DNA sequence: CGATTTTGACCAGCGC
DNA sequence: GCGCTGGTCAAAATCG
């Protein structure tokens, strides 16, 4: 499973109706952070893992790059980035992860490792959206934001994932494939 | 020994 | 009101 730069603690697992695979529930280990995520395996294609994020991280991602010579040196000391926009602090985005069959492994986290210096999850995801890789698509979902905010609106079209149809039931999805992250 | 995972129980929302 | 389903809690087990 993908490491997105944050530490998660599993707090539950439930078998879901119409799905042969259980859904796992994770909370961010940071006590001041209410971010959650749900991880389930796609019913149609077991290679696809559906990760649903809920809430926003109130802290930076865990530093995969301990020392980033950005010159400014402004990364660690600023604990929280002021969120001037996005009135809904509660948002969720949904993305599907397609582990490379037979490979998976180490490269899963590389993408988020690279994005980790950006810190907050809401900063991280738009980064993905603004730089859509061919097999990359994403969108926000959830209660906090309007459905029209779906960055991957019409998963049938803009979502280039070849399995996009499998999750069209959800108005939003955020899928990425480690293969598409080969630019790292 | 602390952190994390596992797992059954509990609770709330929803449809009938 | 009842049952089903999904989400969360919390104690026990496991791991490093």
Q: Cite residues whose beta carbon is less than 7 Å from strand C.
A: A 11-18, 23, 25, 36, 38
State pTM to two decimals: 0.58
Q: Is the CB of A143 under 7 A from strand B?
A: no
Q: How many CB atoms lie within 10 A of CB A116?
A: 22
Most confident of A30-44, A123-137, A144-158: A30-44
Closest CA to A137 of A171, A108, A174, A164: A174
What pLDDT is recorded for position A32? 73
pLDDT at A143 over 70: no
* CB-neighbour burial class of residue A182 (10 A; exposed 0-12, middle 13-18, buried 19+): exposed
**Residue A25: its pLDDT value, please?**
92
A117 vs A95: CA distance, rounded Å: 20
Looking at residue A60, its pLDDT comes to: 64
pLDDT at residue A2 above 60?
A: no
What Å value separates CA A39 and C1' C15?
22
CA A167 to chain centre: 16
**A33 three-state secondary structure:** coil
Structure tokens at A70: 């950005």
CA atom of A131 to C1′ atom of B12, Å: 40
Confidence of residue A51 (pLDDT cuts 50, 70, 90): confident
Å between A32 CA and B9 C1'?
Answer: 27
**Mean pLDDT value across residues A141-166:** 38
Does A27 score more than 60 pLDDT?
Answer: yes
Strand ranges (DSSP E) for chain A?
8-15, 22-28, 36-41, 49-54, 92-97, 139-141
pLDDT at A42 over 50: yes
| Owner of token pair 């980033």 | A68
């Amino acid at each position: 499973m993908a490491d997105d730069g944050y530490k998660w603690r599993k707090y539950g697992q439930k078998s879901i109706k119409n799905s042969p695979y259980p859904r796992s529930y994770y909370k961010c280990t940071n006590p001041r952070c209410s971010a959650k995520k749900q991880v389930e395996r796609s019913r149609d294609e077991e290679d696809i893992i559906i990760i649903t994020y809920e809430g926003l991280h109130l802290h930076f991602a865990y530093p995969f790059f301990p020392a980033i010579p950005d010159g400014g040196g402004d990364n660690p000391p600023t604990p929280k980035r002021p969120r001037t926009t996005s009135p809904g602090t509660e948002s969720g985005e949904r993305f599907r992860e397609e582990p490379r069959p037979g490979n998976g492994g180490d490269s899963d986290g590389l993408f988020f490792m690279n994005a980790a210096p950006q810190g907050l999850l809401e900063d991280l995801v738009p980064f993905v959206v603004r730089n859509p890789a061919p097999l990359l698509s994403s969108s926000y979902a959830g209660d906090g934001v309007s459905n029209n905010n779906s960055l991957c609106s019409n998963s049938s079209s803009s979502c280039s994932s070849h399995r996009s149809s499998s999750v069209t039931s959800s108005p939003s999805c955020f899928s990425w494939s480690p293969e598409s992250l080969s630019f790292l």
